[in-house]
Amino acid sequence: MMIEFIPDWLIVFWNWFPVDIQTVLIILGKIVLILLPLLLSVAYVTYAERKVIGAMQVRIGPNRVGFFGFRLWGLGQPIADTLKLMMKEVVLPTKANKFLFLTAPVLSIAPALAAWAVIPFDRGMALTEINAGLLYVLALTSIGVYGVIIAGWASNSKYAMLSALRAGAQIVAYEIAMGFALVGVLMASGSLNLGDIVEAQAGGFENWFAWPLLPLFFVYFISGVAETNRAPFDVAEGESEIVAGFHVEYSGMAFAIFFLAEYANIILISALTSLMFLGGWLSPFENAAFAQGTFLAETSLLWFVGKISFFIFVFFWLRATFPRYRYDQIMRLGWKVFIPVTIVWLVVEAVMFVAKVGPWAV
């Protein structure tokens, strides 16, 4: 055990704490273990985005900022960006509602991070496995819209206000399609616990929910892109019309928090999509003959990270490929395409499920 390497005085010090404090300290330790890699990934996802889109547009992307005189392909860029934003003034506009103005960024980052409390990274490797896991995630991702609306309203600026209205209506419309897609997953797995949902997809890639629920899979991921206000659904911050949208009045660290929240949400949506439709940490080759006895057949964190990275890449790919939707097209896609598609597929799935045919034949 590791215990032997810990000096005696540390154990004495540890035992000196009451049991309740010890539990909280252990929880805090685990949270730090989740949060630090997460925040680091958020920082480097911004770098990856610039590199990937740069490559797609035959540019180089950031390649100057390195460490101690070495360029290292520009790997120092996110850190330099953060430091720069820290040194910039946080401007509080005179007409703004100051308290709400500063609350808004906090309201958008807190749920994007706190949702990770129930995400399982490997079999039994989650901060906490609660039975209402998916409900909790859905609730927290819904809170994100408050950050946008409050930011837009509290800024008391016309661009911010317009953007908040657009973003609010858009997020809310796509959330319905997202919710319906989740119902399909729940029906297939029979559980709200994210760990159980993944285990229900065991047995190689042919058992992943992505196949029987293919329409819901696409609807969920595309709604996820719309929820995070990413291109091609980024009318909320469409530069050419409303400058920067709801965060036009934000500067320095207050802006950086919005930026972090957007990328944390991208990672979260990617993680949820891979958990619910692509079997999370499960290996795609669990029963394949060639993989038996090698690491390829085992469940591991690496599969999960790989799947998340793939979806994050798709986010960048969409941004580099598609022009921005018009607002009426966005609303039409949400209300007139996604919602009917999900309702129809739910009915089809429920009938097949009760009749025990197709993928649900027991």
Contact with another protein (CB under 8 A) among 62, 74, 78, 105:
105
Alpha-carbon distance of 305 to 271, in angstroms, equals 8
Beta carbons of 177 and 339 less than 8 angstroms apart? yes
Task: Write down the least CB distance from residue 51 to another protein, Å.
Answer: 25
The identity of residue 220, as a single letter, is Y
Subset of residues 215 to 244 that bind another protein, contact rule: CB under 8 A: 243
Task: Assign 3-class secondary structure to the chain.
Answer: CHHHHCCHHHHHHHHHCCHHHHHHHHHHHHHHHHHHHHHHHHHHHHHHHHHHHHHHCCCCCCCCCCECCECHHHCCHHHHHHHHHHCCCCCCCCCCCHHHHHHHHHHHHHHHHHHHHHCCCECCECCCCCCCHHHHHHHHHHHHHHHHHHHHHHHCCHHHHHHHHHHHHHHHHHHHHHHHHHHHHHHHHCCCCHHHHHHCCCCCHHHCCCCCCHHHHHHHHHHHHHHCCCCCCCHHHCHHHHCCHHHCCCCHHHHHHHHHHHHHHHHHHHHHHHHHHCCCCCCCCCCCHHHCCCHHHCCCHHHHHHHHHHHHHHHHHHHHHCCCCCHHHHHHHHHHHHHHHHHHHHHHHHHHHHHCCHHHCC
Alpha-carbon distance of 71 to 64, in angstroms, equals 6
Contact with another protein (CB under 8 A) among 125, 343, 348, 357:
343
Subset of residues 239 to 278 that bind another protein, contact rule: CB under 8 A: 243, 248-249, 252-254, 256-257
Contact with another protein (CB under 8 A) among 21, 71, 190, 292:
190
Q: In this complex, which beta carbon is closest to another protein, that of residue 31 or of residue 305?
A: 31
Contact with another protein (CB under 8 A) among 6, 11, 28, 302:
28
Task: Write down the least CB distance from residue 198 to another protein, Å.
Answer: 16
Q: In this complex, which beta carbon is closest to another protein, that of residue 296 or of residue 350?
A: 350
Subset of residues 39 to 68 that bind another protein, contact rule: CB under 8 A: 39
Contact with another protein (CB under 8 A) among 90, 200, 202, 291:
90
- Conformational region of residue 166, where left means phi above 0, alpha means psi within -120 to 50, and beta covers everything else: alpha
Task: Write down the least CB distance from residue 161 to another protein, Å.
Answer: 5
**Of 191, 189, 195, the residue nearest 207 (C-alpha):** 189
Subset of residues 300 to 329 that bind another protein, contact rule: CB under 8 A: 327-328
Contact with another protein (CB under 8 A) among 54, 93, 306, 359:
93
Q: Does 351 bind another protein (CB under 8 A)?
A: yes
Task: Write down the least CB distance from residue 175 to another protein, Å.
Answer: 7
Q: In this complex, which beta carbon is closest to another protein, that of residue 48 or of residue 161?
A: 161
Q: In this complex, which beta carbon is closest to another protein, that of residue 79 or of residue 172?
A: 172
Task: Write down the least CB distance from residue 267 to another protein, Å.
Answer: 14
Subset of residues 150 to 189 that bind another protein, contact rule: CB under 8 A: 153, 155-161, 165, 168-169, 172-173, 175-176, 179-180, 182-184, 186-187
Please tell me the count of residues contacting another protein according to CB under 8 A: 87
Subset of residues 196 to 215 that bind another protein, contact rule: CB under 8 A: none
Subset of residues 107 to 146 that bind another protein, contact rule: CB under 8 A: 107-114, 116-118, 127-130, 135-136
Task: Write down the least CB distance from residue 190 to another protein, Å.
Answer: 6
Task: Write down the least CB distance from residue 352 to another protein, Å.
Answer: 11
Task: Write down the least CB distance from residue 23 to another protein, Å.
Answer: 7
